[in-house]
Amino acid sequence: LRLVAAVSILALAASAQAQPAAKKPAPTKPLADILAASPKSAWRALDQANLVYLDLPKGRVIIELAPAFAPNHVANVKLLAKAGFYDKGGIIRAQDNFVVQWGIPDGQPDPPLGGAKEKLAPEFTRASQGLAFTALPDRDSYAAQTGFVGGFPAARDPKTGRAWLTHCYGTVAVARSAEPNSGNGGSLYAVIGPARHLDRNLSVVGRVVQGMALLSTTSRGEGAMGFYAKPADATPIKVRIGSDVPAADQVGLEALRTDSPTFATVAEARRNRRDDFYRTPQGGVDVCNVPLPVRPKS
């Protein structure tokens, strides 16, 4: 299965390059054109029960949860959101080139957990078996193989039989202290810089699918590790699960299926972009540099 997936991307790449009459390969189509030509079957509607609405004073951030990778942490996040736990906290940290984090400021007592577990065993990796993994054919600095699972950037190691979600721009994971089981989802972070060195050391629960710029432009904290020196500097937040939001206020979104031929074309366009502007194709791509298109539900 893994080879088939890898080959499917390569095969598309090869067919895109083998234009019969032209000596030069055909120019790469812009992303918007590739998406405009995509069939409806290439898209999947996001399930409101799996979306976190993170409302900031300046706008709305939406996160898709990944229960296939961190079922217990995702369950906790849902319970905490339903209990209004996060609304007692805020954005407490913004470290340039690394992460933006939200939760309860240090020194403030934890609000009631609403049935969520206080501690959870780590969900840093999971068994690779049973996952439909669309592999990239390219070398990676951190993992034996990278690719995509159900819309999320991922990696796996055939030697250990484990798979995990990678820390890419927009990845959301569970903050913790030194003990591996010290995170319960009450404090979460979104990646805003290179952070693959966190892979397999933290529990990834999802990724931002809308409003990422609201997090990435957050004023950086001036305390150690980008924490705000004064808890009062925390940006207020309101966190709900999509299915708990009144229907009129829900945001319908659909994401490009990462196992679709259209996505293979998107990935290949980034691996080997050739057009009037890009004269030298790269011959490869980092798993964190493949676009993961999301659009309003049609």
Site for a copy of itself contains 196 (CB under 8 A) = yes
**Residue number with CB closer to a copy of itself (111 or 284):** 284
Q: Which residue has the tokens 């057009």?
A: 275
Contact 196, 288 (CB under 8 A): yes
**Residue number with CB closer to a copy of itself (78 or 176):** 176
Site for a copy of itself contains 41 (CB under 8 A) = no
The encoded tokens of residue 292 equal 């993961």
Closest-CA residue to 34 (of 275, 251, 213): 275
- Residue 246, number of CB atoms within 10 A of its CB: 7
Counting residues that bind a copy of itself (by CB under 8 A) gives 45
* Residue in 212, 241, 264, 267 binding a copy of itself, rule: CB under 8 A: 212
Q: Which region among 40-48, 61-69, 104-112, 165-173 touches a copy of itself (by CB under 8 A)?
A: 165-173
Site for a copy of itself contains 297 (CB under 8 A) = no
Contact 191, 169 (CB under 8 A): yes
Site for a copy of itself contains 178 (CB under 8 A) = yes
Residues 6+ away with beta carbon under 8 Å from 226: 93, 94, 95, 96, 98, 99, 220
Site for a copy of itself contains 268 (CB under 8 A) = no
**Residue number with CB closer to a copy of itself (47 or 96):** 96
Which helix (H) or strand (E) element contains residue 19? none
Q: Which region among 14-22, 48-56, 199-207, 260-268 touches a copy of itself (by CB under 8 A)?
A: 199-207
Site for a copy of itself contains 223 (CB under 8 A) = no
Q: Which region among 14-22, 36-44, 102-110, 188-196 touches a copy of itself (by CB under 8 A)?
A: 188-196
**Residue number with CB closer to a copy of itself (129 or 280):** 280
Query: Which x/- pattern over 86-115 shows residues binding a copy of itself (rule: CB under 8 A)?
Result: ----------xx------------------
Q: Which region among 15-23, 135-143, 250-258, 260-268 touches a copy of itself (by CB under 8 A)?
A: 135-143
**Residue number with CB closer to a copy of itself (280 or 298):** 280
The torsion angle over the Cα atoms of residues 208, 209, 211 and 215, rounded to 10 degrees, is 10
Instruction: Report residue 56: phi and psi, to 5°.
Output: -110, 165
* Beta-sheet strands, E only, within the chain: 43-45, 51-56, 59-65, 90-95, 99-103, 126-127, 134-135, 145-149, 152-157, 162-165, 171-174, 188-191, 204-210, 235-236, 238-241, 253-256, 294-296
Instruction: Report residue 226: phi and psi, to 5°.
Output: 80, 10
The encoded tokens of residue 290 equal 């493949």
Q: Which residues bind a copy of itself (CB under 8 A)?
A: 96-97, 124, 138-142, 168-170, 177-178, 180, 192-197, 199-201, 212-213, 216-220, 270, 273, 276-280, 282-289
